[in-house]
Amino acid sequence: MPFQPFDYSAIDHRPWPALQRFSRRIFVFLMRLLIRLEVEDVEHIPATGAFVLAANHLHLLDPALGLICVPRRMVGIAKDKWRRPPFNWFLTGMSDIIFVGNSNRHALLQAIKVLQAGGVMAILPEGTRSPNGALGKGHMGAALLATRAPAPVLPAVLYGQEQAMKYWKRLRRVPVNARIGTLIELPPGKADREQLETYTEQIMIAIARLLPPEYRGVYAELASSAGEDHMLS
């Protein structure tokens, strides 16, 4: 399905608490003024049931843009340094956040509970913004959650937002593209490190294949050689 202008009227704010509904409506209004969002294959997003959303990370706005593109209520993961004001006001005002500090185990258990309750966890496997606009090496968090919960992984990408300042300086809206992949089913259960690394690589290849070639970074060669029907088994 080709890229389509994003249908903002399709966003259902009702599942969110009052403060988050208010914050999201303000953010959506601002984004309509500041960006020109087009999305491909939004129908791939499950209307119900748990899944792990795994996406690339190019810009500070990525988590909030993801909340717009995905009509489900999601729970995100953020480093503990973002717990400080004013960053935490923005993050928790827009969505539910699990902050990761010294105890990764505590955050993992919380995230698993979200998935086992039928919720959606949003993960940026690179762990930090790309310094050069290209996809970096993925960490194992998405694969770990997906196998332990268990829940499928939904790869997705956003690109174009990294050029925001160039457009805003000229008082123009930023063209941003979003693409949604298809669900990836991972073998459930406790996987060892080698298995998790394999699953992570395959998740990252799926993310890379949704991106234009110039954004694929360390997964460019693997994404190019992956078959069109590349799936996990």
What is the rounded CA–CA span in Å between residue 2 and residue 215? 19
The pLDDT-based confidence of 35 (bands split at 50, 70, 90) is very high
Question: For the chain, what are the domain ranges?
Answer: 4-224
Structure tokens at 27: 């953010």
Classify 4-224 by CATH class.
alpha beta
CA distance 141 to 104: 10
pLDDT tens-place string over residues 116-152: 999 999 999 999 999 999 999 999 999 999 999 999 9
Cα distance between residue 154 and residue 17, in whole Å: 25
Longest Cα–Cα distance of the chain, Å, equals: 51
Instruction: Identify the weakest region by mean pLDDT among 8-12, 18-22, 111-115.
Output: 8-12
